[in-house]
């Protein structure tokens, strides 16, 4: 097979489908190529199967990037309201779960089907199960900087005037994720920041590993802080360490070797409260009081871990002990040994250096006609629909320019 189109998109994921649909609907001939046997696998897995497709509160400061300004232009030109408008036109039912996070009422496939219908409306050809063997660029005679991109694939040769790389990041390789986009960027002389797993559970192998195993499945609301960044959300103990939204969020800021400060009772100054209660209910057991704040199991395991006597009463605590307990509960120091890595990470930090791209069009400055969109770029969102919004917004930015050239 041999075919030429105006636009070739590599990657039939969130950003690739969105960009292809919008370019197609502007009258361009578009082909999407993906090695997976199904489009949008991460969309289907996302948000626990319900796809947290955007957030009411999209702001540039919810994104990590070496250049925090890069995402601003794209996010402001295709906003959460634009995507909500699209979802509403398709009659997809959705709701706000919490903190502005918008999820499908039914299934993530509602979003994928919507994108595929949008691609059909743009007469986009989608070639799945297509392995890419090589990508090259040939200058057009008298074409200036412009030329033709040629893909040699397991299904033949595809060529195009513009090439959009939407291959995402390397997290969850079983869903078809690869670092292919980085390899292509380097092939065209672009700088790439090495990817690092983010929005990922922590592993704990020190003296707290037994506690994590025992409490596995238990969760509580905490404030976790690392590197001047903090998040107030749920923490979940797992067999191998700690997870839950608070831990996933902070993992994007954590560097190996750093210690997390976890406030197990973020609404309470523990030392002050104990001093107050000592007069009010002196006979109450410490473990009973803590069990009322957390859960009984949590309280008992945690106090044993911290070597507090099982039957100490509030009256028996002296000032130094109340201060120590306060620090242990309000500033629990936990040193993860690592993270679960790409096997379970939702995203990867790093990627194509934003200095190499136009923030307005996502086009590579060194290679006209070559675009990068979505997670492959060094822009990574917080948990809560921010990563999909980046996929939609960056796709829109590129599609607008594709139609102009």
Say whether residue 378 binds ligand FAD (CB under 6 A): no
**Among the listed residues 5, 29, 52, 399, the single contact to ligand FAD using CB under 6 A:** 52
* Residues 115, 118, 122, 125, CA torsion sign: positive
In the complex, the smallest distance separating the C-beta of residue 378 from ligand FAD, rounded to whole angstroms, is 12
Q: Does 350 bind ligand FAD (CB under 6 A)?
A: no
Quote the least distance from Cβ 190 to ligand FAD, whole Å: 16
| Minimum CB–partner distance for residue 78 and ligand FAD (Å) | 14
Q: How far is CA 390 from the centre of its chain?
A: 10
Q: Could you give the CA distance from residue 286 to residue 303 in angstroms, rounded to a whole number?
A: 9
Contact 290, 302 (CB under 8 A): yes
- Pairing state between β 30-33 and 192-198: unpaired
d(CA 373, CA 379): 10
Query: Is residue 372 classed as helix, strand or coil in its secondary structure?
Result: strand
Among residues 33, 371, 350, the alpha carbon closest in space to that of 188 is found at: 371
> Is the Cα dihedral 357, 177, 338, 247 positive or negative?
positive
Binds ligand FAD (CB under 6 A): choice among 80, 127, 162, 171: 171
Please list every residue from 115 through 134 that binds ligand FAD, using CB under 6 A: 132
Asked whether 345 and 381 are in contact (CB, 8 A), the reply is no
Smallest separation, CB 22 to ligand FAD (Å): 14
Q: Which is nearer to ligand FAD, 18 or 215 (CB)?
A: 18
Mapping DSSP to helix (H, G, I), strand (E, B) and coil, where does residue 205 land? coil
**Chain residues 180-219 in contact with ligand FAD, contact rule CB under 6 A:** 180
Residue 168 interacting with ligand FAD (CB under 6 A): yes
Binding flag, residue 265, ligand FAD (CB under 6 A) = no
C-alpha 111/C-alpha 90 separation (Å) is 9
The counts of H helices and E strands in the chain are 13, 21
* Span of 44-52, 89-97, 228-236, 250-258 interacting with ligand FAD by CB under 6 A: 44-52
Query: Binding residue for ligand FAD (CB under 6 A) from 5, 8, 9, 13?
Result: 13
Spell out, one character per residue from 147 to 166, where the chain touches ligand FAD: x when CB under 6 A holds, - when not: -------------------x
167 touches ligand FAD by CB under 6 A: yes
SS3 194: strand
Told to check if 15 binds ligand FAD by CB under 6 A, we report: yes
Number of residues that bind ligand FAD (CB under 6 A): 37
Chain positions contacting ligand FAD, by CB under 6 A = 10-16, 34-36, 41-42, 45-47, 51-52, 132, 166-168, 171-172, 176-178, 180, 346-347, 374-376, 385-388, 391
């Amino acid at each position: 097979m041999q075919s030429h189109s105006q636009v070739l998109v590599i990657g039939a994921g969130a950003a690739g489908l969105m960009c292809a649909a919008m370019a197609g609907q502007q009258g361009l001939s578009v082909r999407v190529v993906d090695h997976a046997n199904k489009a949008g696998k991460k969309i289907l897995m996302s948000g626990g199967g319900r796809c947290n497709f955007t957030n009411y509160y999209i702001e540039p400061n919810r994104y990590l990037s070496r250049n925090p300004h890069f995402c601003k232009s794209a996010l402001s030109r295709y906003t959460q309201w634009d995507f909500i408008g699209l979802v509403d036109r398709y009659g997809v039912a959705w709701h706000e779960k919490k903190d502005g996070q918008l999820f499908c009422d039914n299934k993530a496939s509602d979003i994928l089907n919507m994108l595929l219908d949008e691609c059909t409306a743009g007469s986009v050809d989608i070639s799945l199960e297509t392995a890419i063997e090589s990508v090259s660029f040939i200058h057009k005679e008298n074409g200036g900087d412009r030329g033709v991109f040629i893909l040699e694939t397991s299904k033949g040769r595809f060529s195009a005037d513009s090439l959009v790389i939407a291959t995402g990041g390397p997290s969850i390789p079983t869903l078809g994720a690869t670092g292919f986009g980085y390899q292509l960027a380097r092939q065209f002389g672009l700088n790439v920041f090495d990817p690092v797993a983010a929005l990922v559970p922590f592993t704990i192998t020190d003296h707290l590993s037994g506690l994590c195993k025992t409490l596995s499945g238990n969760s509580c609301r905490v404030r976790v802080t690392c590197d001047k960044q903090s998040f107030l959300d749920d923490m979940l103990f797992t067999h191998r360490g700690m997870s839950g939204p608070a831990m996933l969020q902070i993992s994007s800021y954590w560097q190996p070797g750093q210690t997390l400060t976890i406030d197990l009772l973020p609404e309470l100054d523990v030392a002050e409260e104990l001093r107050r209660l000592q007069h009010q209910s002196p006979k109450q057991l410490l473990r009973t009081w803590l069990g009322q704040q957390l859960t009984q199991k949590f309280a008992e395991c945690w106090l044993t871990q911290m070597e507090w006597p099982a039957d100490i009463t509030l009256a028996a605590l002296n000032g130094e002990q109340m201060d120590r307990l306060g620090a242990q509960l309000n500033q629990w120091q936990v040193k993860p040994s690592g993270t679960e890595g790409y096997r379970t990470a939702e995203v990867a930090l790093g990627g194509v250096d934003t200095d190499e791209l136009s923030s307005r069009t996502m086009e590579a400055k060194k290679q006209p006609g070559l675009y990068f969109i979505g997670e492959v770029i060094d822009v990574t969102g917080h948990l809560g629909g921010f990563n999909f919004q980046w996929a939609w917004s960056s796709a829109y930015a590129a599609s607008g320019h594709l139609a102009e050239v």
